[in-house]
């Protein structure tokens, strides 16, 4: 998944993922970022449908630790 073709190019998409990976639930993410719950759920749905390889690459691009279960 090349950087320029990232599925998470929206203004809040990466922040939503960081908060999700940090363990916040959907509603807390929505409140913290002041975005709609629908946007949060859409981003997380896309994230959850990604292959393990794409998740690893995304985490690497974002500078995040890669979860051992992936």
Q: Domain extents for the chain?
A: 3-62
Cβ burial, residue 9 (10 Å; 0-12/13-18/19+):
exposed
5-52 pLDDT per residue, tens:
466 667 788 899 989 988 999 999 999 999 999 999 999 999 999 999
**pLDDT above 80 for 70:** no
- Contact status, residue 33 vs residue 15, Cβ threshold 8 Å: yes
**1 Cβ contact partners less than 8 Å away, ≥ 6 residues apart:** 7, 54, 57, 58
């Amino acid at each position: 998944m090349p950087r320029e073709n990232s599925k998470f190019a929206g203004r809040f998409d990466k922040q939503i993922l960081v908060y999700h990976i940090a363990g916040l639930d959907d509603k807390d993410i929505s409140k913290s970022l002041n975005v709609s719950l629908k946007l949060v759920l859409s981003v997380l749905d896309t994230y959850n449908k990604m292959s393990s390889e794409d998740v690893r690459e995304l985490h690497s691009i974002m500078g995040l630790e890669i979860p051992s279960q992936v």
